[in-house]
Chains A and B, each alone.
Chain A
């Protein structure tokens, strides 16, 4: 039994052993499998890990090189983490940024904006958005738009995920647009012109102050309405619609002129229609700038009328001039011709037949000749007078003293029998027409020369006395003088104060002098006493004052 038992035992043992081996093998197998599995899992894990690492790296790169700044903030605004874009936005290394506060880089006046932003985020547990201004390390202002959402970190603390986008350029463009818009408004609102903007449907989308003033309708009642809605006259509505549509179509500025009949009368307007473009180059609106040019037109018409009048006057004057010219020409030509005949044939008579005529007949012939000579002289004087009146003034500085000296020596040479003392003063320069002033002075001196003939000690003086306002020139003689009660007749043509047989002359010299002095805007007068002499005074307006 023992043996049996033993046998059984050993058998059992054997059996156990087999079993044991079997189990062991199984186990080994299993563990082998398990291990392999584990290895596989490990490998997978490792792979996943590496993948994850790569992703993290990739994420970091993306995170850093995003064109948008990105920060994680605590609810107090402390910077936990930020990307490179943000640090370069501020212009400071990232290592200095971490753990500092975003408030340090926000303009003080925008702090409230940032705290509101953070508060809003906490309250709403959602998203928040705001615009504020940062200052970078170069002290430049950086406009940013900030968008945050809310997250929790490992320790369940609230952190923000905040993107910060720089919008400085956008703000700048916006501001300059705003500025130019403001400028336009200021200009338009204060312009004396009527300025209105029209859309494609010809409706007013903007009008300036002047428009409401002219139409007498408040701005809000004009906006959105067309000219027809506003009750413009039909022809005006038609014109405007046509031209505005044309500007929309042709994309070109157009200027139109038109008249409007109003209660007070006719008014003239000029309107520039200017296209306004969108970024695609399409006309989005048309600006109408209208000016009331009635005054201008009226002035223009006045000027045209005046010009016409002037033209007429000029033509009349020309006609008169022509007539005058032909008149004086006739005088010189036609009046002389019969005189020449009288003279010519009288002389022929004298030469050919008069030898044995009685003295009385010869005397008659002499008288005829003398009369025709005097007539010739009269005609010449008349012509000279009219020439002096017509001649164009050409002023320059003239020395009257020089003219007087020259003329006096001429006189003394041609009349050696006379001994006249000439006294010629200084400072006798005047502005005047040399030809005319020469004629005037010669006339005055010739007069003095003539009327001093009976004197024993003739003396002729030319001088100037400086009065307060003007210079008074004078020609003085100690000749026969004249009765002052006739002085008003002195300057009348052909009017004589002495008989022509005593003092020959056409009686036109002083009229010529007066005419010349008057043409120089001067005055002339005389003082005299019979038997004691005469003084002729005259003034001449300074340069630039004469006609």
Chain B
């Protein structure tokens, strides 16, 4: 497993972030979790603008995207990701509070790899990333 596999979490709610971080720690997930709390910065990160150098901020293997983000909302971020050749095939999972939010994305006709219902548990995360043959890095822990 490659510990450098970065997961980008685009989420503005610090409680939510804290709970996810806890879940990662509890389950000893080794993947680097990069957290961005503002919509425009998610784009800066992905397109390496405004101090987001590719050295310090490597391209993530997948993005966990919340729909309601300050400044630039999740749908706009998704639109930009899909419109750009560099990121068009980046796996994106939408974090939803309720299944009704799926409809919003379907109406936009933008491609997403899947949806993860909050709160994000290990089970939900695993089930989602399995679909794109992505394996979470649990390190060399003894079972």
Contact = CB atoms under 8 A, between A and B. Distances in A.
B97 interface: yes
Interface string A349-377: 00000000000000000000000000000
Contact of A336 (B19, B67, B98): B98
B69 to A, nearest CB: 11
Interface in A308-361: 328-329, 332-334, 336-338, 340-341, 343-345, 348
B101 A329 contact: yes
A387 B101 CA distance: 12
B16 A383 contact: no
B16 A332 contact: no
A328 B118 CA distance: 17
Residue of A329, A333, A334, A348 contacting most chain B CB atoms (<10 Å): A333
How extensive is the interface on chain A, given as a class?
10 to 19
B80 to A, nearest CB: 21
Interface string B57-77: 000000000011000000000
Contacts of B68: 333-334
Contacts of A421: none
B22 A336 contact: no
B100 A383 contact: yes
B133 interface: no
A481 to B, nearest CB: 35
A390 to B, nearest CB: 11
Contacts of A300: none
A334 B118 CA distance: 12
Contacts of B16: 337, 340-341
A340 B98 contact: no
Given A333-B67, A333-B68, A336-B118, A344 B98 contact: no
B97 A383 contact: no
Given A333-B67, A333-B68, A336-B118, A341 B98 contact: no
A337 B100 contact: no
A348 B101 CA distance: 27
B116 to A, nearest CB: 13
A387 B100 contact: yes
B13 interface: yes
Nearest to B22: A348
Interface in B91-143: 97-98, 100-101, 104, 118-119
Contacts of B19: 340-341, 344-345, 348
B56 interface: no
Contacts of B67: 333
A437 to B, nearest CB: 20
B101 A332 contact: yes
A344 B15 contact: yes
A118 to B, nearest CB: 100
Nearest to B14: A341
A336 B118 CA distance: 9
Contacts of A387: 100
A351 to B, nearest CB: 8
A20 interface: no
Contacts of A341: 13, 15-16, 19
B119 A343 contact: yes
Contacts of B101: 329, 332-333
Nearest to B98: A332
A32 B88 CA distance: 144
A329 B13 CA distance: 16
Nearest to A342: B15
B13 to A, nearest CB: 6
Interface string A31-75: 000000000000000000000000000000000000000000000
Contacts of A344: 15, 19, 119
A333 B101 CA distance: 9
Contacts of A336: 97-98, 118
A380 interface: yes
Given A334-B68, A340-B97, A348-B22, 19 more contacts: A329-B101, A332-B98, A332-B101, A333-B98, A333-B101, A336-B118, A337-B13, A337-B16, A338-B15, A340-B19, A341-B13, A341-B16, A341-B19, A343-B119, A344-B15, A345-B15, A380-B98, A383-B98, A387-B100
Listed from nearest, the 5 A-B pairs whose CB atoms lie closest are A341-B15, A332-B98, A344-B19, A336-B97, A333-B97
26 contacts: A328-B100, A329-B101, A332-B100, A332-B101, A333-B67, A333-B68, A336-B97, A336-B98, A336-B118, A337-B15, A337-B16, A337-B97, A338-B15, A340-B15, A340-B118, A341-B15, A341-B19, A343-B119, A344-B15, A344-B119, A345-B15, A345-B19, A348-B22, A380-B98, A383-B100, A387-B100
